Structure 1
């Protein structure tokens, strides 16, 4: 970025009267936000199903339907809450931070209540309790996650520094994942069985840690970007919708992220059967999880210099192409053992780690583009639309995984699967991801319009537009 362009971008960082410049305090503060989110999100994603089936004794099929309905409702709640926030005026501490502070307490309490087991109740009671408590938790999760995700666009307007926020956010999520996946099983299970008292104890412990992280996010993060009084939204939903439909960067990043989410969840589901049945080595899955986290942390220090030199779109696209090539290579090498497969797979995981690390920075760019098109600063609305797409992707993936496994001939009643089923599982775990990563690569290269040059120019144009409106 040229000196004049950077000067214009930096000038927007003082619109809230903040003297302290963007720095490590903000990065760590933003990291703690997703650290807090994922203490409970990953606890729920990893262990709530087994709690419902083994403690509440609800059938797995019913739990699957509950998750599908709840995620679709969550998607609606995201958009509703994002729109609500954008109709509120910023307070003393900003537009988004106050909601993180207010709503984190009821969110954590509702999360703990999900794991309360009252002995001796009927099946109907447990089903109703699971449905109501899970829906409430998911709704309250939106009230914290939407302002948290939206806040990145008002912490700094520098496109490169926004990439560091996205990187630190991913770092927070991965740290929470390490704790949940390593410590969680040691707390939650007794003699290889889900224990209701241990689950409640775990929920309380992770709830306290989650709340502490939210408070750290609130204290350390600073909102700097505030829309000019004349540009603040006045409930013009028609203008907002027209702007969203014209926002090509938003539409294409929505499609790319939805496809990426479905693919990621399908990979996770299929890998269980790949290692359990194809390689006959289920324990190797722990190595996959460990190496996946390791690839993210290896990629983290590389992201900022790569984005500064080449751009977000270019860096993410290159990583996705690498993943597509490696997964295709794995498809054509079916005789590998589990260790060899994981060794090659690690390269693919390293490739798509770059998309995961910069995706939240893409979102801040499309929020800026929305303001450029409409003159409205609607961080919450635009971010909630993106979150809506991710929730829809989660809901789709929840059903696609089971259907795909069944389609290749997997039979849970067989001790050993047919060779056709095993070959189908191998194809699902290799060829399908290769094709999907290639599609996302093509979307970024040929359809997503915000290249490095256009992103920097957008920052300059928006800064000039804000100055002119003052």
Structure 2
């Protein structure tokens, strides 16, 4: 059955041949980020130590690679998002087919990133790292942009979108559970990273990632469809004006960028913190386990909490908790690894709550863009958000590598100096406390879409769509 010709957008239901939104969609969306994060988390947590301790590249040089690659990815994100928005939806939707098409080359290049050819020069290793890492990041955009954009067309219900955000975060944490718990057991031999083990892990995680992408493709349904006969023509100038006026988007981008910087910095520094400061790299498995447990514990409470208090309110509470915990850890430098992990788990619960809600913010700012401009540009708006994340990754990569180098880390040394160890501890505690505190202040005082305004936005947008009849 066709769509009504006089509506800009319509949510397809069972009468149109689509099943009702339900558990299959939640599982499908979960599998998408599960597939994404098999490599994203592996790269975020362990690629720097692979480059510094196996390729023997200078940490500052690795930081330069991460910075430049992520800046390129930011451009690729926006370009791909704009491209997606110019495509018409087919029988399988607008976004799902791209997940199917591009996941295969993405995984292949992901495995190639972790190939080590013994006896080559530093110049060769650096060139190989640049080519494979930048190509992987570009291909990641071709899968992640349609995947992230898809949430806003799976359902139009604001609370159900929060459940999609939570299930997406669950997928990421399931990947994190496997990589952060099993990864150190595979990757390190006698507290040192092993090249053959890294390649084996990449192959295993690559196969699992492909399986997850196929599950996402099969289980998800795009219900909200644009009527192409009445859809306004895309105008870059009109779009840019809408983006500039979209204050929720702007402040959310700033907060997300800073959060991702600190989140990735924590992941990168934790490897050195436990490997060198605590002398126990395999304790990272416990960090990964408790990080996932914290999210699993929080997840059932997110939907009722958001329903009662709102996304902004719940997210800011989690950020405040994480800020306090990292501040406390800085002032307790003599904890054992076990004690440190015990306290850290409370902090991971805090930023885990923020992560469980964050993707629902994206659908709200997409709706706000449509309210301002009359244009439904899911791919473009999501790609702007993804661009901010890539810039955050660029900054985190650059800052992380430079910071590790600045505190005097020497990959050839059997043990690091006391000053270097203290610097690593500061990077892993005080820096996250300050950055997370700033994100908390931005969300509380500058991001405008509280519960009341979000509910009103849903009503106003529905009225505006009816006005196009």
TM-score where L is the length of structure 1? 0.87
Structure 1 unaligned regions, length at least 5:
1-9
Closer, same or farther: CA 154–15 of 1 in aligned 2, 3 Å: farther
SS at match of 1:103: helix
SS at match of 2:16: coil
Q: Contact conserved, 1:228 with 1:469, CA < 8 A, in 2?
A: no
Match of 1:4 in 2: none
* More moved, 172-181 vs 280-289: 280-289
**For 2:409 and 2:390, how far apart are their aligned partners in 1?**
29
Count residues with an aligned counterpart.
459
**For 2:230 and 2:289, how far apart are their aligned partners in 1?**
47
Match of 1:298 in 2: 297
**For 1:33 and 1:112, how far apart are their aligned partners in 2?**
19
Match of 2:110 in 1: 111
Structure 2 residue 460 is matched with structure 1 residue 458:
no
Q: CA deviation at 1:226?
A: 1.6
Closer, same or farther: CA 188–401 of 1 in aligned 2, 3 Å: closer
Q: Contact conserved, 1:328 with 1:430, CA < 8 A, in 2?
A: yes
Match of 1:5 in 2: none
Q: CA deviation at 1:97?
A: 0.7
Structure 2 residue 37 is matched with structure 1 residue 38:
yes
Match of 1:17 in 2: 16
1:152-231 matches, cutoff 5 A = 152-187=151-186, 199-229=198-228
Closer, same or farther: CA 46–338 of 1 in aligned 2, 3 Å: closer
Closer, same or farther: CA 204–424 of 1 in aligned 2, 3 Å: closer
Closer, same or farther: CA 442–15 of 1 in aligned 2, 3 Å: farther
**For 2:41 and 2:217, how far apart are their aligned partners in 1?**
21
Structure 2 unaligned regions, length at least 5:
1-8
Closer, same or farther: CA 375–112 of 1 in aligned 2, 3 Å: same
SS at match of 1:464: helix
Match of 1:382 in 2: 381
Closer, same or farther: CA 205–400 of 1 in aligned 2, 3 Å: closer
* More moved, 358-367 vs 120-129: 120-129
- CA deviations on 1:209-234 (whole Å, 9 max, x unpaired) are 21121111011000111233366353
* More moved, 70-79 vs 398-407: 398-407
1:389-404 matches, cutoff 5 A = 389-404=388-403
SS at match of 1:226: strand
Q: CA deviation at 1:366?
A: 0.3
Closer, same or farther: CA 198–397 of 1 in aligned 2, 3 Å: closer
SS at match of 1:214: helix
**For 1:316 and 1:466, how far apart are their aligned partners in 2?**
30
Match of 1:258 in 2: 257
Q: Contact conserved, 2:60 with 2:401, CA < 8 A, in 1?
A: no
Match of 2:446 in 1: 447
Cα RMSD for the two superposed structures: 3.1
Closer, same or farther: CA 338–183 of 1 in aligned 2, 3 Å: closer
TM-score where L is the length of structure 2? 0.87
- CA deviations on 1:68-96 (whole Å, 9 max, x unpaired) are 22111111111110011011111111110
Closer, same or farther: CA 52–441 of 1 in aligned 2, 3 Å: closer
Q: Contact conserved, 1:16 with 1:224, CA < 8 A, in 2?
A: no
* More moved, 270-279 vs 101-110: 270-279
Q: CA deviation at 1:264?
A: 1.7
- CA deviations on 1:324-350 (whole Å, 9 max, x unpaired) are 233333445555444333323222221
- CA deviations on 1:378-400 (whole Å, 9 max, x unpaired) are 11111111111111111111222
Q: CA deviation at 1:186?
A: 5.0
Q: Contact conserved, 2:191 with 2:281, CA < 8 A, in 1?
A: no
1:81-96 matches, cutoff 5 A = 81-96=80-95
Q: Contact conserved, 1:150 with 1:379, CA < 8 A, in 2?
A: yes
